[in-house]
Chain A
């Protein structure tokens, strides 16, 4: 049951929010409680995964590959954990930020549905099921984008939905091709079935389809333009949630699919990812340089940062993946925090257009410090978390003698610094063009609480990077050598077939490391899966 909670808790909260439709106050409390519950569940999962290795469960006691598998290795568990952290931060921030109209239109229920979809995509071990969770989160995010009800929101939502539907269609087509070629969609089973068949045309086309789909979800070049067109229109709480989670689901899916299902060492796949990610980095950072709206600048930076993460995968060495995973974790905290700060900047100065605002350093020096922490971390200034993330990626590139790519990565880091100092100079340093107390709305303390917490996390990860890098190493090892992952699925499947509830390897006396890789149960489930089922 443990693995079900990250999905069931947010969805249950969404249901309660819908039932409490007429009371935004109750919904607000439910949203916070549900997010807190998600955080607790995610901590339970990651503790268990770090202790025992990957855990898996079969839904409804149907053995793999027929039943839906939920699996958590360190990567999944860490992603769920960070989702929980961001959920709580956004729930608290939302108390003071989300408008009454948005709350009446279902902001809280949709937020929880989105979290359920995101967590579902992170823990599922079945690629079709992943498609379903993508749909859940896409529908929820579409709703969240339009709850404000303004013209700008609708305009943004049309672009957002348009491109995302195309990506989803490509995803489904790829999944269909894969099923036709392999006869299974369970990722552990696919890994075994596709061993030695990577060069086949069908597999290759499926890889191309999925690469496009995940690339578009992650806002990679060339399918990135939906992101800067839409992320600055909804409430700040919503755009922080989007910026933290949505593109990262795409990156996660890319890492998952292109390690366990497809072989990234195929030159065509590797080169596409490698140069795609390099162009993504450059395009994103140059796009940001041309913008003057705070949240639009930050949106373009998401794109360039996505390039780093995909680059880590594309290098396809343990160190590269460590970099990608560490980057993923660090980036979610930093980027969400920057969006939250952008909200406070907009509130304290009356606008998010850099040309219209200024003078914040004089009025709110602490906000300046809080801005500098994630901004410098994003640019990769030591000793903050972004420095280690960039260092790992660049080291991995140098180790593989990809000097040009490493050079691009360093250059993009400098350009990021340029954009961040632009926000700093315009919003904080120069005087407010309309006089210093113009158009300011008071910013409640609830806005600062999540900002301070996330900034402290960035500093903590930066100063204390060793355990995080070690966890990332363990995680990269699991991702590149998925034996433990497959063994966990096989155990869960076997337990489901015997009609037993899944026991952890520790409970049954088998240490996770020593567990062999019994793969037969996945491939040949015998007999009817549920003998006591009366209608079958």
Chain B
């Protein structure tokens, strides 16, 4: 696709959507939102780049192989689980090391949610990019 309007709008929209996704991720603690929806928003942002400028540009913008991103996300989830296991002896136990002192609701649960965020973003992007490339491959064969 080659649309000036879409390409220009993408320049503005992509950072906005990415910022929104972080907001949604953090808001998900007690209100609607969370890692899954945030991750989908990240995938939407890169899907927009992909539609406007092509898969190559989207992959460049992502800077990292989507499935590796998903792997890092799963790794964060597991690390969140291990954290409780190491500190408390119970796998997946919620740990809040800075809450009592500073009132920061940051801990193993946020790490887990961040993992979901990255895993969803990576997986959905991998599927979208893969489909786009497969489509190109088929179209190329037809020509």
Contact = CB atoms under 8 A, between A and B. Distances in A.
A14 B75 CA distance: 9
A15 B91 contact: no
B75 A61 contact: no
A530 B96 CA distance: 12
Given A60-B84, A534-B96, A535-B30, A8 B89 contact: no
A398 B30 CA distance: 61
Contacts, number: 74
A287 to B, nearest CB: 35
B105 interface: yes
Given A8-B78, A19-B68, A21-B68, A501 B88 contact: yes
A40 interface: no
A496 interface: yes
Interface string B98-140: 0110000100000000000000000000000000000000000
B72 interface: yes
Contacts of A530: 94
A60 B94 contact: yes
A244 interface: no
B56 interface: no
A17 interface: yes
Given A8-B82, A12-B78, A21-B65, A59 B71 contact: no
Interface string A13-36: 011111101100000000000000
Interface core residue of A109, A496, A535 (most chain B CB under 10 Å): A535
Given A59-B91, A501-B90, A15 B75 contact: yes
A8 B67 CA distance: 19
Contact of A14 (B74, B82, B85, B88): B74
A18 B67 contact: yes
Interface core residue of B68, B74, B85, B88 (most chain A CB under 10 Å): B74
A18 B74 contact: yes
B51 interface: no
B97 to A, nearest CB: 11
Given A1-B91, A59-B90, A530-B94, A19 B105 contact: no
A78 interface: no
Nearest to B100: A534
| Binding site secondary structure of chain A | helix
B17 to A, nearest CB: 25
A12 B115 CA distance: 13
B92 interface: yes
Contacts of B105: 534-535
A22 B65 contact: yes
A16 B70 CA distance: 11
Nearest to B68: A21
A106 B30 CA distance: 36
B29 interface: yes
Interface string A50-69: 00000001111100000000
A513 interface: no
Contact of B71 (A21, A502, A534): A21
Contacts of A8: 78, 81-82, 91
A58 B78 contact: no
Contacts of A59: 90-92
19 contacts: A1-B85, A1-B90, A4-B85, A8-B78, A11-B74, A14-B74, A15-B78, A16-B71, A21-B68, A58-B90, A59-B90, A59-B92, A60-B93, A106-B67, A109-B71, A501-B88, A530-B94, A533-B96, A534-B96
- Going nearest first, the 10 A-B pairs with the smallest beta carbon separation are A18-B71, A501-B89, A60-B92, A4-B91, A15-B75, A61-B90, A19-B71, A15-B74, A534-B99, A60-B93
